[in-house]
């Protein structure tokens, strides 16, 4: 778990972003700004939400948030961590998002047949499941 003085830093890239259908989950948290990953990921369109995977060659655009431990627990539930849909783990960001260790939600399901989103996911239909 990435932590600094009881706070956690999370990179979000989909339904949790401002304007997304799950943005309300971050409503009481601290938005730090737009961020971009190092060019070593891929982002797939899973229909109603995106899926971030490692071992790619793209720099993904998203947002950096500072969140409480309570919020992080809620995000884990939203992302289906216990169900094995996503896993929260460290992510590499480009400066200036490198002052603190940051985590993101990585998609764990097969991506065969899914459309590559390029460097960002445009929020799609509102869904009951979502991703980072």
pLDDT one-digit tens code per residue, 16-49: 999 999 999 999 999 999 999 999 999 999 999 9
Is 99 a member of any domain?
Answer: yes
pLDDT in tens, 95-108: 876 778 999 999 99
Whether residue 65 lies inside any domain: the answer is yes
Residue 53 lies in a domain: yes
129 belongs to a structural domain: no
Q: How many domains does the chain have?
A: 1
Residue 122 lies in a domain: no
pTM summary value: 0.88
Residue that is written with structure tokens 């989909």 in the block: 14
Domain annotation covers residue 132: no
Domain assignment of residue 126, yes or no: no
Give the integer Cα–Cα distance in Å for 62 and 131. 12
Q: Do 79 and 88 contact (CB within 8 A), yes or no?
A: yes
- What is the sign of the dihedral through the CA atoms of 35, 36, 41 and 44? positive
Maximal CA-CA distance, the chain: 42
| Structural domain contains residue 33 | yes
Q: For residue 102, what is the domain's CATH number? A: 3.10.490.10
Could you list the residue range(s) of the whole structural domain that residue 32 is in? 7-116
Contact 19, 34 (CB under 8 A): no
């Amino acid at each position: 778990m990435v932590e600094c003085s009881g706070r956690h830093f999370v990179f979000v890239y989909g339904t949790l972003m401002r304007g997304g259908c799950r943005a309300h989950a971050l409503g009481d948290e601290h938005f730090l700004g737009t961020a971009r990953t190092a060019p070593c990921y891929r982002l797939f369109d899973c229909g109603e939400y995106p899926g971030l995977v490692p071992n790619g060659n793209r720099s993904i655009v998203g947002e950096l948030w500072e969140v409480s431990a309570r919020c992080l627990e809620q995000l884990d539930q939203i992302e289906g961590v216990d169900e094995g849909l996503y896993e929260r783990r460290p992510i590499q960001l480009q400066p200036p998002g490198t002052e603190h260790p940051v985590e993101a939600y990585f998609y764990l399901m097969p991506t065969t047949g899914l459309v590559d989103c390029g460097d960002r996911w445009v929020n799609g239909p509102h869904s009951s499941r979502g991703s980072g």
